Homo-oligomer: A and B are copies of this chain.
Amino acid sequence: MVTSRDVARLAGVSQMTVSRVLQGSNKVAPETRDRVLAAMKEAGYRPHAAARTMRTRRTSTVGVVVADITNPFYPQLLEAVGQALEEAGQRMVLWNAPDAGGSTALSALDEGIVDGLIFTTITEGSEQLGQALRRGDPIVLLHRGLDSLDCDQVTTDNLAGGRAVAEYLVAAGHTRIGFLRGPEQASTARHRERGFRDRLAELGRPLAEDLTAQGAFAHDVAWSAMRDLLSREDPPTAVFCANDLTALGAVDGAVSLGRRVPEDVWVIGYDDIAMASWDSYDITTVRQPIADMARAAVRLLQERLEDRSLPPRKQLFPSELIIRGSTAHTTMP
């Protein structure tokens, strides 16, 4: 198959110039543009996306890939992304992809059905994704990042968030501290855990492995895990949960055993989804600035649509500990 590299060689220009011509950029001199177009014709270069972009310039549609829409964090994030796109004059189309790799979405980008993609639940880079990024395709990773990939990424400082929770619990005097982990393949889960563990160790209270369990970012798994922890002879007096959905499950697990939060056990979540602040839960959590992150991802995507040669940018938002009723008890349990 003929590639833009072949076209560039034939026209005696850089691949970037070919890319700029495809985008209709006004940074290319008219005679260069004509030479590139002639080379495309000669080489028989006809990518769908390119053909479409040249015809209509843009589809004004951005694809968003998500893995688990039943975790209330994602509908909130998607709503924010949809609003940010609308402000930018674009529409959103969603792929709920269990593989999180979004191969269908990548194909849609390739065929010019969408202008760009935002991945919200990336867990590992696929060969298809790597290829798309090497071509300079407009793709942004939002919420979950990939250290191994050099591309536009918008995340929050999950390490700092985990550390803040460790400091808060130790300062409150807790010694039996529990932890409900998230799935290892999610960067958010890994970073929150590392920050929490490292800071606890630094403060001389290393996490006791027998007080940790898998929460799996799922209400039912967290519910069972919390009941297990609370049924021990010497149960934890505080449990940090790797996200808010896990914390909701942990609170419900405690409630199901007749335990009171925070009187019998403190519970802390992560994300600050709307539900965390609802009166029945009132959960202390670490806030991610969802609307700001969504706007940043959309902005990075716009900029890359304008100029695919921009260097990869990684934008890190601060996290903030929000104290609520699930811990705000004057005395430790």
Residues of A at under 8 Å CB distance from B? 61, 69-70, 72, 74-76, 78-79, 82, 91-96, 104, 113, 219, 248, 251-253, 255-256, 274, 278-281
Contacts and interface: CB of A to CB of B under 8 A. Distances in A.
A93 to B, nearest CB: 6
Contacts of A252: 278-280
A91 B251 CA distance: 36
A95 B96 contact: no
Contact of A95 (B76, B93, B219, B279): B93
Contact of A94 (B76, B94, B256, B280): B94
Q: How many copies does the complex hold?
A: 2
B75 A79 contact: no
24 contacts: A61-B104, A69-B75, A69-B78, A70-B75, A70-B79, A70-B274, A72-B72, A72-B75, A74-B75, A75-B75, A82-B96, A91-B104, A92-B95, A92-B96, A93-B94, A94-B94, A94-B95, A113-B113, A219-B278, A248-B280, A251-B280, A256-B279, A280-B280, A280-B281
Give the 4 A-B residue pairs with the shortest CB-CB distance, closest first. Answer: A94-B94, A252-B279, A69-B75, A255-B279
A219 B253 CA distance: 23
